[in-house]
Structure 1
Amino acid sequence: MSDLYANSRSTTDTAVRKKDVNPTSGMCPICIKDCKILCEVGKSALRGREVLYPDTESFGHSTASSNKDYGLDWSDFQILTEALGAKGIEPNSDVATFPNVDISTVAGGVHLSVPVFTAGLGSTAVAKNYWDGLAVGAAISGSMQVIGENVCGMDMDAVITKGKVTKSPDMDFRVKRFRDFWDGKNGNIVVQTNVEDQRLGTDVYALSKLEVDIIERKWGQGAKAIGGEVRIYDLKKAQELKKRGYIVIPDPEDPAVQKAFKDGAFKTFERHSRVGFPEFKGFVEDIEWLRDQGAKKVFLKTGAYRPATTAFTLKCASAAHIDLLTIDGAGGGTGMSPVPMMNDCSTPTVYLQAQVMNCVKIMKENGMYVPDIAFAGGFVNETQIFKSMAMSDLGSGPTVKAIAMARAPITAVMKATYFNELSKKNDLPSGFAKVYTSDPAKFMIAYNELEEKFGKDVKKLPLGAIGLYTYWHDRIGVGLQQLMAGSRKFKLDCIARSDIASISERATRVTGIPLISDIESDLMTRILLDGSSNGSAVKSKMTKKQSVAVKSRIK
């Protein structure tokens, strides 16, 4: 596969002069001096490490992802529909309608009204800038909101006593904002902790001072396998973060660096977190310690590491009886993941889930505890959610209980917020305003539904929160109900591996899910020649046999 974009990517705002680039380097066949276009090589000669990161000028109001074709994604599978019978509901045309599909789920012991939640959004600027919409949106959606890493450590108003956080207004705000609209039953707030957070005592602070119930340990994410990064625009803040133990590049205490910053040679510092080195015994003991501190549930978030590490992660999660394991496939990020790492590091989501299911199959066969699993990594719609859950079934329902998202919820909140701002300035796109009006109460389609639920308090909801609710409930929720009704599955735990088929040889080879051309070919003949009126008896018998055969097809 040629790398046509190796020297020009939208994520780094680079381009090339000619279209017929060298397929290996991505460079123009002839590179000339008098060219004002900045390719990756040219921009790197001027800006160096800045070109490692996505469009630095939009930091805090953008997200980024890989633009690499991994050769296998969710489009390589097709959802199989059904007409005979129904599961999870009475097979009655007046009852088995798609609005009656139940898309609620329980993930890690937490009831979710929709099978999606927001993955860890921490100290990166885009999370802070849009927290109001994200947290309130998750709460009114009956979902989980994970407060990501480094929030206390990045809080300039935090009080740190003897190396431990004893007060963090930013963390307090993030927890409170979710709870302002939380019904206390559906969803919950989760505090994520990395190496820096554990040193700072963020977990103990959240459990004891803020009465948080759930702590999530973090080992990494699909966008990068190194510590979290953010940009710092203030010299004093960069110096303070270095004093707190963070890695800050370039060194804000170096007089030459300070002069270059003041002269405008560069505009931002980089703050990096340390990477962790988990050990089996230490991890299990750490989880026991967290529960002793008051954690009612403990989650683990991990990235898309090599296969052996994936197996190690599942072994640790099993031994520690983790409540929910979130596994993040390559390669998207919420702000500052290195572009080369997003594109060319870690295991893409479908390949990764195939590895995980191989491990889960072995674990179940050997009587090991299997935690609830959530997958992340480029999910944006209901078809991908359905397919991931279907792939995770090993005969007793989906192992994947929910899908974690980051970029998509942020986009939903950003877009709703931005269009509200445009409406106030009477600057909405003319075509949009003509069709949907300039009134947010009208162009936000779920506004009336939320007004009925919250009454006058609907005006207290950030427009970004309404945007997230609309995206999750009115789009993904209804879309998922329709897909499930089409497969005659009316509860999420009824979705089965046999509900999807591969439409490429690679998909079959990687996942073990048979090609659509091979599925039920023998059953077709038996139904046609069966003496019953509709062949449902034969189909029922074959389904039981196939449920056993499903396991043997998983590599």
Structure 2
Amino acid sequence: MTFSRPNRSEATLTRNRTPKSISPFSGMCATCSVECAGLCDIGKSSYRGKEALYPQPFGAVTAASEKDYPIDYSHFNIMGGAVGAKGIEADSDKAIFPNVDTSIKISDIELDMPIVIAGMGSTNVAANHWEGMAVGAAISGIGIVIGENVVGMDPNSEIKNGRVVQAPNLARRIKDFQKYSEGKGFIAVQANVEDTRLGVQEWAIENCGVEVVEMKWGQGAKDIGGEVKLDSLDRALQLKRRGYVVLPDPEDPKVQEAHKNGAFKEFERHSRIGMVEEESFHARVAELRAAGAKYIFLKTGAYRPADLARALKFASDAKLDMLTIDGAGGGTGMSPWRMMNEWGVPSVELHSLAHQYASRLAAKGKHVPAMVFAGGFTLEDHIYKALSLGAPFVKAVGMSRAYVTASFVGNNVAQALKEGKLPSAYKTYGERADQIFITSAELKSRFGSDFDNLPASAIGVYTYTERLKQGLKQFMCGARQFSLDYITRDDIAALTKDAAAVSGITHIMDVDKDEAEKILG
């Protein structure tokens, strides 16, 4: 069987002329007709070229891999129990799911839920829904990371001698979180090659009171730098002057003429790939600490296992606070589509390797940073399984695409109310915001008159997080774990021999085998 569907996808708005008769590996129609207008990936590439590399419409959708990997988190089940309780008295009146504690500490940063909204950078999707995610993260007590290129992409940033001196967009993003923060959760500022050259993290520490910074090696959707589209020559020229790779070259008179004549409508801005070296890595960590960073994180992607080993070893030696490990297949929609599907180590395999490597370091008495697993997680069972697979090292999960959805749906509710055009999906619950959002009464009690100032998108994020919280509590209660510290790798079982072999998690038929034998006598 094939694990992916080449040559057509809803993500790229491409399809086959003969969808019931496809060559499995190439993805081409079994009979390719000279009369076809060019509906598939090959055909569209024949007239739109490199534009067809990306999910469409670019910047207006989020996208993630549709490749059906041989093993994923659905190949594990959570084990429940009927005996005792951990973290609470084994009393049926006390061991109830509302009493489960979902809070966790990363260093001395407390999270109300083990969730980090990871890497929301300069893309249109992230920018358009930032306020909802930032405010929602603050009132939910979870972490959020400002992703790469925010300063360089801000037309109003002021840069002198290659260093940022004013960054209004970055400052606003930080304030969106800080305004509503109640002491739990965190906001971090990430940096790639260009951000580091501009001094973005130092500026944020000095001017915005940022305490948390994140170094970035990559992500799960792609193994190259980030890209966005630019629809004006002036923007393309500005970003090239700021040090970005811009294609085609906006300074070339022939390119300028072609753009003016409509031969192409958009320039591409690309970021550089990093060059990881142990000495320079530790030097950068020292620079950040000297600049006043209180907590330092590292984000890495689905690179080959040797690079995962480097990430863990370097983070261990540098005594970093957190390491996020993002498995292949994730993304927020700005990555080349085939790359999103066909490169990197998938989440279960990558996370299993991370646990192996962390265990080796721990056995030697080495520092192991709090680990965060990411890679397409959306619901409470994913959270539990990731914490279990990576126990005791994994303290939280990274989520991005799901939180974009929660933010824009919250905003869609408000927009529908404003326009007086409520779809039936909302009307089912009422015709006012406080009827549609189930958490309204709780938030009104908590914020009083300030409730009306909460963005609807943030209420969407909060309400989604509350659903995840109760769902996680219910799973934990059933497994008799009343705080996150009690979750172990024995709390999940592999449903296939392959999943067991890859992860080291016990196969379902071997779970409790010895104990069952003792019980049976």
Q: Same fold (TM over 0.5)?
A: yes
The 1-side partners of 2:489 and 2:297 are apart by: 26
Identity %: 48
Q: Tell whether the 8 Å contact from 2:224 to 2:272 is kept in structure 1 after alignment.
A: yes
Write the distance in 2 (CA, Å) between the matches of 1:440 and 1:169: 31
Q: CA deviation at 1:60?
A: 3.2
Which amino acid in 2 is paired with 1:464? S
Q: Which amino acid aligns with 2:220?
A: G
Match in the other structure for 2:464: 471
Q: Contact 1:4–1:21 at 8 Å: present in 2 too?
A: no
Q: Does 1:27 align with 2:28?
A: yes
Matches within 5 A, 1:133-212: 133-183=132-182, 185-212=183-210
Q: State whether residues 497 and 507 of structure 2, in contact with CA within 8 Å, keep that contact through their aligned partners in structure 1.
A: yes
Residue 303 of structure 1: CA displacement? 0.6
> Per the alignment, do residues 465 and 506 of structure 1 end up closer, same or farther by CA in structure 2, a change over 3 Å counting?
same
Q: Which residue of 1 aligns with 2:111?
A: 112
**Stretches of 4+ aligned residues off by more than 3 angstroms:** none
Extract unaligned runs of 5+ from structure 2: none
1:75-104 deviation per Cα after TM superposition (whole angstroms, max 9, x unaligned): 100111011110010111111110000001
The DSSP-based 3-state class of the residue aligned with 1:453 is helix
Give matches, 1:28-427, under 5 Å: 28-36=29-37, 38-55=39-56, 57=57, 59-183=58-182, 185-393=183-391, 398-427=392-421
What amino acid is the match of 1:292?
A: A
Displacement after TM superposition at 1:68 (Å):
0.1
Among residues 485, 490, 500, which one is paired with 1:493 in the alignment? 485
Structure 1: how far apart are the matches of 2:354 and 2:394? 10
Q: 2: CA distance between counterparts of 1:145 and 1:487?
A: 29
Separation in structure 2 between the aligned mates of residue 269 and residue 211 of structure 1, nearest angstrom: 35
Cα distance per residue 1:351-373 (max 9 Å; x no partner): 10011011011111111110100
Which of the numbers 427, 430, 444 marks the counterpart of 1:437? 430
Alpha-carbon shift at residue 61 of structure 1 (Å)? 3.0
What does the per-residue CA deviation read over 1:372-411, in whole Å, with 9 as the maximum and x for residues that have no partner?
0011110001111111111122xxxx21101111101001
Report the CA distance between 1:259 and its aligned residue.
2.5
2:422 aligned to which of 422, 425, 428 = 428
Separation in 2 of the partners of 1:506 and 1:154? 45
* DSSP-derived class of the 1:436 partner: coil
The amino acid that maps onto 2:15 is: A
Q: What does residue 5 of structure 2 align with?
A: 5
The Cα shift of 1:108 comes to 4.1
- Contact preservation (8 Å) 2:4, 2:341: no
CA-based RMSD of the aligned residues comes to: 1.2
Within 5 Å, give how 1:448-467 maps onto structure 2: 448-467=441-460
CA distance in 2: counterparts of 1:70 and 1:54, whole angstroms = 20
Correspondence list, 1:535-554, <5 A: none
- Counterpart contact for 1:4–1:26, Cα < 8 Å: no
Paired letter, 2:102:
I
Cα contact 1:230–1:335 (8 A) shared by 2: no
Asked whether the equivalents of residues 3 and 23 of structure 1 are also in contact (C-alpha less than 8 Å), the reply is no
Q: How far apart in 2 are the matches of 1:506 and 1:189?
A: 38
Moved more, 413-422 or 449-458: 413-422
Give the Cα separation in 2 of the matches to 1:152 and 1:328.
Answer: 24
Distance 1:60 1:440, change over 3 A: farther
In the alignment, the residues of structure 1 paired with residue 219 and residue 427 of structure 2 have an alpha-carbon distance, to the nearest angstrom, of 42
SS class of match (1:343) = helix
Write the distance in 1 (CA, Å) between the matches of 2:239 and 2:516: 66
1:503 corresponds in structure 2 to: 495
Which residue of the partner structure matches residue 476 of structure 2?
A: 484
Aligned to 1:525: 517
SS in 2 for 1:106: strand
Q: Tell me by how many angstroms 1:335 deviates.
A: 3.0
Contact 1:124 / 1:230 at 8 angstroms: preserved in 2?
yes
Instruction: Find the aligned partners of 1:276 and 1:153 in 2 and give their Cα distance.
Output: 17
State the shift of 1:171 in Å: 0.7
Deviations 1:46-76 (A, max 9, x none): 1111111110x2x333211110011111110
Distance (whole Å) between structure 2 residues aligned to residue 469 and residue 251 of structure 1: 43
Structure 1: distance between partners of 2:90 and 2:145: 38
Report deviation, 1:433: 4.0
Moved more, 380-389 or 101-110: 101-110
Cα shift at 1:514: 1.4
Distance 1:381 1:163, change over 3 A: same
Q: What is the aligned residue count?
A: 520
**SS of the counterpart of 1:69?**
coil
SS in structure 1 at match of 2:268:
strand
Distance 1:332 1:495 in 2: 25
Is this contact kept in 2: 1:3–1:26, CA < 8 A? no
Query: 2: distance between equivalents of 1:507 and 1:336?
Result: 30
Secondary structure of the corresponding residue to residue 517 of structure 1? helix
CA distances 1:205-239 after superposition (whole Å, capped 9, x unpaired) = 01111111011100100101111111112210111
Residues 80 and 499 of structure 1 are in contact (CA less than 8 Å); yes or no, is this contact kept in structure 2? yes
Go from structure 1 to structure 2 and tell me whether the alpha carbon gap of 1:276 and 1:502 turns closer, same or farther (over 3 Å shift): same
Q: Aligned partners of 1:113 and 1:162: how far apart in 2?
A: 42
Q: What's the offset of the Cα at 1:37?
A: 5.1
Distance 1:108 1:36, change over 3 A: farther
Shift of 1:22: 0.4
- Contact 2:151–2:169, Cα closer than 8 Å, also in 1: yes
The answer (yes or no) to whether the contact 1:164–1:199 under 8 Å persists in 2 is yes
Q: Distance in 1 between matches of 2:4 and 2:277?
A: 40
Tell me by how many angstroms 1:156 deviates.
1.0
What is the identity, as a one-letter code, of the residue corresponding to 2:373? F
In 2, distance between residues paired with 1:4 and 1:115? Answer: 32
Would the aligned equivalents of 1:122 and 1:147 in 2 still touch at CA under 8 Å? yes
SS at match of 1:479: helix
Query: What whole-Å deviation, never above 9, does each CA across 1:515-549 have from its counterpart, x for those lacking one?
Result: 111112232131133xxxxxxxxxxxxxxxxxxxx
In structure 1, distance between residues paired with 2:132 and 2:237:
31
Give the conservation status (yes or no) of the 8 Å contact 1:231–1:269. Answer: yes
Secondary structure of the 1:171 match is: helix
